[in-house]
Amino acid sequence: MSTQSNGNSGNGNVKKPITEAVSVESDGGSPVSGRIAPPPGQLKKADFVSDQEVRWCPGCGDYAILNNIQKVMPELGIPREKIVFVSGIGCSSRFPYYMNTYGFHSIHGRAPAVATGIKCANPELSVWVITGDGDALSIGGNHFIHAIRRNLDVNYVLFNNRIYGLTKGQYSPTSEFGKRTKSTPSGTIDYPINPLSLAIASESTFVARSIDIDVKHLGTIVDAAAKHKGISFIEVYQNCNIFNDGAFDYFAERTVRSDRVLYLEHGKPMVFGKNRDKGIRMNGALPEVVTIGENGITENDLLVHDIHLNDPSVAFMLARMEQPDFPQPVGIFRATERPTYEEMMVDQIDASIAKSGPGSLEKLINSGDTWVVE
C-alpha cells in the first residue's frame, strides 16, 4: 500500500492514503481505488508503513518512536481513514509522511491549532500531534498550553532531544542551563522548560514520559495514551546523534539505567536500583531517596504511585525529580477523566438546535444592521 505526498518541505502539505475509503464510515471491506481495504481487526504494522523514504539521520531516535507507533496502530482497531497525524516543523515533523494514514504537515508551532480544527470538525477521527521541543515549546508554546487545557481527545507526542536538529544544532527551550551550542558558544543562560511540568500545570488529563531506546516501555506508553479519552501528552527522550549525541546517556544508557531511572507503576511503591533496594518516600512535603533495609525502612514506607489522583500536585512533584539528586522518572504520571472539549462543543450545538432550530447562515448574515455596497 502506498501513499501520496506532495513534497518534502511540507508547510500546509496534506497527504492521504492512496487506498483511502470512499466513505469515512468504514465497514472494513469498502472498495478502495480498485482494492479491498482490510478490516480494522486484520490490519498489521505493515499496513501503516507508507511508501515514502524515511529521511532521518542513521541512528536517530525518531526511528524507534515511528516503529512503536506503527506497531500500536493495528491494536487500536481504528480504520486508517479515521486516523490523522499532524505535525509542525522540525525533524520529527516529517512523521506524517511515514504513516499510511491521513496527515497534515502544518506550520511552525501551529500543529495543535490545526489538530484542534480537525478534531472539532470531525470528532470521530483519531488525531495525533507530532512535535519537537523547539516546535512545541518555543514558537508553539501558547498553542501547546491551550490545546492541553481544553482537554481535546488528541494524542500529543513531543520528541525531546534538547537541541534544534533541523537547523543544525542551536539550543532549544529544553537545553540544559550552560549548554554550549552553535548559537550559545559561551553557554546558554536560559533556564530550560520542563515539558511535563508545563503539561501538568495546564491540567493535562494524561501525562507520560519514555525513552526512545527503551522500546518495550515506549510501546506500552503509546498504547495507554492512545486509549485515553482526553488529551494525552507523551514526552519522549530522543537522542539526536548528530547535534546532541548522548544527551541522555547519564541516566538512559543500559548499564546505568536501573540505578538512575524510576519506572512509575500505578498502585506500586516507587522502587528502583539494580538490586531493587532504593526507593522514594515523603519526608514532610518533600520526596527523598532512601535505601530499603537501612534504619528499618521497608517498602511500606515508600510512596505508592497513583495515576488517578485528581489533584496534580504529586504528579508535578514527580516531574520535577531529576538526576543527580533523584532517579529520572518515566512512565505514566497522571491519567484522570473529565469531559472533552469536542464533546461539550457538540452538546452545545445540539442544545442550540433543539431550542432554536438549525438556523440559516443567510439569515444570520443579513440580520441586524446591514448595508449594501454597490
CATH number of the domain encompassing residue 94? 3.40.50.970
Residue range 99-125: mean pLDDT, rounded: 96
Please say whether the dihedral angle defined by the alpha carbons of residues 152, 157, 160 and 163, taken in this order, is positive or negative: negative
**Average pLDDT score over the chain:** 89
The model's pTM is 0.86
- Checking if the pLDDT of 257 tops 50, the result is yes
Number of domain units in the chain: 1
Give 250 or 372, the one with higher predicted confidence.
250
Question: 207 near 197, Cβ under 8 Å?
Answer: no
Question: 239 near 245, Cβ under 8 Å?
Answer: yes
| Structural domain includes residue 168 | yes
- Which 3 state secondary structure label does DSSP give 160? strand
Calpha distance 230→101 (Å, rounded): 21
Calpha distance 148→153 (Å, rounded): 9
pLDDT at 39: 64
Range of the domain at 57: 3-247
pLDDT at 20: 37
Q: Residue 266: which of 312, 206, 335, 212 has the closest Cα? A: 335
- Checking if the pLDDT of 27 tops 50, the result is no
| Structural domain includes residue 180 | yes
Question: 50 near 2, Cβ under 8 Å?
Answer: yes
Residue range 149-154: mean pLDDT, rounded: 97
> What angle (nearest 5°) sits at the alpha carbon of residue 223, between those of residues 330 and 244?
45
Calpha distance 298→311 (Å, rounded): 27
| Structural domain includes residue 227 | yes
pLDDT at 41: 65
- Checking if the pLDDT of 33 tops 50, the result is no
Residue by residue, DSSP assigns 67-82 as HHHHHHHHHHT--GGG
Q: Residue 207: which of 182, 181, 236, 185 has the closest Cα? A: 236
- State pLDDT tens for residues 188-246: 999 999 999 999 999 999 999 999 999 999 999 999 999 999 999 999 999 999 988 99
Among 7-16, 176-185, 191-200, 266-275, the minimum mean pLDDT is found in 7-16
Partner residues linked to 271 by β-bridges? 279
> Where do we find the cell 447562515?
361
| Structural domain includes residue 120 | yes
- Checking if the pLDDT of 35 tops 50, the result is no
pLDDT at 18: 37
- State pLDDT tens for residues 280-338: 999 999 999 999 999 999 999 999 999 999 999 999 999 999 999 999 999 999 999 99
CA-based diameter of the chain, in Å?
89
DSSP collapsed to 3 states, 97-137: HHECCEEEECCCCCHHHHHHHHHHHCCCCEEEEEEEHHHHH
pLDDT classification of 50: cutoffs 50, 70, 90: very high
| Structural domain includes residue 319 | no
CA 57 to chain centre: 22
| Structural domain includes residue 311 | no
pLDDT at 131: 96
| Structural domain includes residue 356 | no
User: Which residues in 257-298 belong to E strands, given as ranges?
Assistant: 261-263, 271-272, 278-283, 286-291
Q: Residue 155: which of 210, 72, 225 has the closest Cα? A: 225
Give 92 or 20, the one with higher predicted confidence.
92
pLDDT at 12: 55
| Structural domain includes residue 223 | yes
Instruction: Pull the grid cell for residue 254.
Output: 543500559
- Checking if the pLDDT of 9 tops 80, the result is no
Give 17 or 163, the one with higher predicted confidence.
163
Angle, helix 215-227 to helix 62-76, in steps of 10 degrees: 50
- CA-to-CA separations, 94 to 86, 105, 165, 248, 368, in angstroms, rounded: 10, 7, 13, 23, 47
pLDDT at 161: 92
